[in-house]
Chain A
Amino acid sequence: MNLIDRPLAHYDVERVRQDFPILATTIRGKRLAFLDTAASSQRPNSVIEAIVHYERHLHANVHRGVYELSQKATDAFEAARERVRVFLNARSTREVIFTRGATESINLVAESWGRSLQPGDEILISWMEHHANIVPWQMACERSGAVLRVIPIDRRGELDLAAFHHLLTPKTRLVAITQISNSLGTVVPIAEIIAAAQRNGSLVLVDGAQAVAHQRIDVQALDCDFYVFSSHKLYGPTGVGVLWARETVLSDMPPWQGGGDMIRTVSFEKTTYNELPYRFEAGTPNISGAIGLAAAIDYLESLDIDKVHAHEQALLRYATDALRAIPGLQIIGEAARKGGVISFTLEQVHPHDLGTILDTEGVAVRAGHHCAMPVMDFFGVPATARASFGCYTNREDVDQLIGALHRALEVFG
């Protein structure tokens, strides 16, 4: 069934908005129209309460104490891991590693798995990657003598698949690719990319930061090798994220950071390492963060991700039509399939001036390069303004944006 055309009768966005206390905030005396969910989403009460409950009643260090409180904290932390496993449909919690976020997850892979890179090996990324999926690979290439290759995009912001197939060679060890572009909104055809990479014997890392809160994710169905995401883009807290990796790949990877929890025995002569996933979790983890993430997953699933997806797609169409009607406005990124992200420029008004003017109207959008400078260079703009949607975004938010854009045109007219 085509989700985009599904009726929205059962999705009550006003009811959803009541779960997010921050949406009642006023900004400079105006109603807050929060349109920066792609940078970081807001948190529902249930997530805030889960974190508070943990801090009030359950906190002790995990995997260490023999006392009851430590066991309770450990149980809650490991239950969060199991919650993530079910969410991703991973085979085992041994494949679920908690990190500080998607950025750290990619760095972990680049540094640990990256140690197997040889001079002349190639890493393939795309032109529309976030800096977090560019720089760690540049660093890995510098260390190893491997070469970074980039799949081009076209003027609509679509990946050039013909070029991808051409760039995929026996030298390609890994394809590291975003599932949805944070700057353009493009939905990347990762199924085709994964299938081709697999036939080629290359591994695939999927950056799911922009996708995970907006559509169902099944790592077994995707059949990729690494999947990374951040909690704070999924209605959970900042400072925690996930690296999922296929166990057979993870087993061969050397430890990354050293410290407590990642070891089995330590002596000055020889240290032996812990089993998966703890081998990659040195030091006391972000326990409350993991518990908050699990609560966020519960929340998102309680809304039904398919309905959230359909709601966001309807808003995307509504906002795209409304924006196109504004004189001098150009949408950057017009791929056939997009997530709830619209980047745009307004003739005569620099994105930073736009960001400030929208702020005075209570509208929060991102103005800047979106940690995707190569994308800005490709489209020949220093920056764009970007509106992005989540489960709580409503038409009133979009209407407020449109009104504020008209105000900007007045000021700069």
Chain B
Amino acid sequence: MDLKDLYRDVILDHNKKPRNFGKLEPCDTSADGHNPLCGDRLTLTLRIDGDTVSDVRFEGQGCAISTASASLMTEAIKGLDETAITTLSEMVHRALTSSSDAAIPEGLGKLAALAGVREYPARVKCASLCWHTLTAALARRDGSTAVSTE
């Protein structure tokens, strides 16, 4: 297992220069994510147009994996509707938790770079924090439509 399989250039790049970093004000929905075990914190703010995420930002502090994962996620979900986001989120979770010899799902694009964490079970939570936070933010929207996607 080479370190470069985990810390790929795209992850190091997004850690150093996080995309869509900051806060949308005003926003249509938001959520805070916290991993108490390692202290990673994340706030997501989203603008939603109809059923589609038109803009998203994140801020917070965490390790390279959690920062890069959040940054990559904001790029990937911009312009997607909720159904497409749910599909993508499930694909990411599969990629993060599958066994190391399983094929990485097609269609993940840059997000496939995160699949290296499956060799490091202790780090899966770092990569998935932003996706859990996104689920919470979308479920919270309008208050009345809160649903669990579990």
Contact = CB atoms under 8 A, between A and B. Distances in A.
A and B: real partners?
Answer: yes
Interface of A: 28, 349-353, 356-357, 359-360, 367-369, 376, 382-383, 407, 411-412
A259 B105 CA distance: 55
Nearest to A407: B3
A412 B64 CA distance: 9
Nearest to A381: B39
A412 B65 CA distance: 12
B61 A368 contact: no
B37 interface: yes
B96 to A, nearest CB: 15
Given A350-B64, A353-B65, A411-B12, A382 B38 contact: yes
Given A349-B64, A359-B120, 16 more contacts: A350-B62, A352-B123, A352-B126, A353-B7, A353-B64, A353-B65, A356-B120, A357-B3, A357-B7, A360-B3, A382-B40, A383-B38, A383-B39, A411-B3, A411-B12, A412-B12
Nearest to A29: B1
A360 B1 contact: yes
Chain B interface residue bracket vs A: 20 to 34
Contacts of B6: 356
Contacts of B7: 353, 357, 411-412
B38 to A, nearest CB: 5
Interface in B46-82: 61-65
Contacts of A412: 7, 12, 64
A23 B61 CA distance: 36
Which 10 residue pairs spanning A and B have beta carbons closest together? A382-B39, A350-B63, A352-B63, A353-B64, A353-B63, A360-B3, A411-B7, A383-B39, A352-B38, A356-B120
Interface in B91-111: none
Given A350-B62, A407-B3, A411-B12, A356 B123 contact: yes
Question: DSSP class of B's interface residues: helix, strand, loop or mixed?
Answer: mixed
B120 A368 contact: no
Contacts of A357: 3, 7
B136 to A, nearest CB: 21
B64 to A, nearest CB: 5
A349 B67 CA distance: 12
Contacts of A383: 38-39
A368 B123 CA distance: 13
A369 B38 CA distance: 7
Contacts of A356: 6, 120, 122-123
Contacts of B1: 28, 360
19 contacts: A349-B64, A351-B63, A352-B63, A353-B7, A353-B65, A356-B122, A356-B123, A357-B7, A360-B3, A368-B37, A376-B39, A382-B38, A382-B39, A382-B40, A382-B41, A407-B3, A411-B4, A411-B7, A412-B7
A368 B38 contact: yes
A183 to B, nearest CB: 13
Nearest to B7: A411
B13 to A, nearest CB: 11
Interface in B21-58: 37-41
Given A356-B6, A360-B1, A369 B39 contact: yes
A382 B3 contact: no
